[in-house]
């Protein structure tokens, strides 16, 4: 079972030029799982509806690195997402899959990158052209 702080989908917002780490932590389960990460670009708002298309999950681009090797069993896995990571858009979802011979579990983190003038209104990022 994976740690899911706010259900199965968790939204995070970060400034555009910040390196972001996304962690996936096992709370229970034996044997320890292997982790797999995938992503999909989302609709760009914080409605939590932009990540649910099962056919759109893709392998992570090579610019995203892993703190724990993928082929190693572990109780957690962390990915490191540098700023401006094409083809990942400013709003993207990252899915962590934990798999062992008895089953699997997944957790989705929705990531938003915003400019310094982003203001959140009703969970929507409103940007300004001002500096």
Residue 53 has what pLDDT? 77
**Does the pLDDT of residue 23 top 60, yes or no?**
yes
**Does the pLDDT of residue 119 top 90, yes or no?**
no
Sign of CA dihedral 85, 87, 92, 96: negative
Q: What would the pLDDT profile of 29-86 be if each residue is shown by its tens digit?
A: 889 888 999 998 876 544 445 677 788 899 999 989 998 777 777 888 999 988 877 6
Alpha carbon distances (Å) from 26 to 4, 42, 86, 97, 100:
9, 25, 29, 11, 12
User: Residue 128: pLDDT band by 50, 70, 90 thresholds?
Assistant: low
Task: Map out the domains of the chain as residue ranges.
Answer: 9-126
Cα angle value 68/26/81 (rounded, 5°):
40
Q: Which residues contact 69 (CB under 8 A, 6 or more apart)?
A: none
Beta carbons of 79 and 19 less than 8 angstroms apart: no
Under CATH, what is the fold of the domain 9-126?
Immunoglobulin-like (2.60.40)
């Amino acid at each position: 079972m994976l740690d899911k702080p706010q259900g199965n989908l968790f939204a995070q917002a970060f400034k555009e030029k910040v390196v972001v780490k996304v962690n996936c932590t096992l709370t229970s389960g034996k044997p320890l799982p292997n982790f797999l990460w995938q992503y999909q670009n989302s609709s760009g708002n914080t409605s939590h509806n932009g990540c649910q298309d099962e056919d759109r999950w893709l392998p992570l681009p090579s610019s995203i690195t892993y703190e724990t090797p993928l082929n190693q069993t572990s109780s957690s896995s962390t990915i490191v997402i540098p700023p401006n990571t094409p083809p990942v858009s400013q709003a993207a979802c990252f899915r962590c899959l934990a798999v062992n011979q008895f089953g699997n579990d997944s957790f989705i983190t929705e990531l938003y990158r915003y400019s310094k003038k982003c203001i959140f209104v009703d969970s929507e990022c409103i940007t300004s052209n001002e500096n």
